[in-house]
Amino acid sequence: MTEQNFLTLTEGEWRERLDPMSYNVLREAGTERPGTGRLLNEERTGSYACKACGAELFASDTKFDAHCGWPSFYEAKDGAVTFIEDRTLGMVRTEVRCATCDSHLGHIFPDAPQTPTGNRYCMNSVSLTFEPSDGGDVVEG
């Protein structure tokens, strides 16, 4: 079996793979409403992956409650994400994208002094899946 090259998928192929909300966030850099994501209050041990391509992004032990309305992490897996300057909405922010498929995940902010890195990866729940360590069912955000 050959490995999928996600960077060659057309937008039509992405639309077929993803539900409308996931497509809006992952491929059009949309944002889900705060406090609405299925993974916001997930507290089990496991790993978080990109909903578009399945690449592992975050370990559950890097997740913390930032009281911002979106799942927050203080560290991504090595090489799992890329960063792009985002000047939309009259702000200067740093967008976080999946390094495997270039899908939008959320933004990173240097405003979490209570974490080991000082960073808050503010991720859209709908851009992630969660796989519990105990072998339970995968949860889509």
CATH domain 8-140 topology: 2.170.150
Cβ atoms of 120 and 72 closer than 8 Å = yes
Cβ atoms of 32 and 21 closer than 8 Å = yes
Q: Is 125 exposed, middle or buried (0-12, 13-18, 19+ CB in 10 A)?
A: buried
pLDDT reported for residue 74:
98
Q: What is the model's pTM?
A: 0.92
Contacts of 86 (CB under 8 A, 6+ apart): 29, 92, 93, 94, 95, 107
Which residue numbers are catalytic?
A: 122
The pLDDT-based confidence of 136 (bands split at 50, 70, 90) is: confident
- 117: pLDDT strictly greater than 90: yes
pLDDT reported for residue 97:
97
Each residue's pLDDT tens digit, 118-131: 999 999 999 999 99
- 80: pLDDT strictly greater than 60: yes
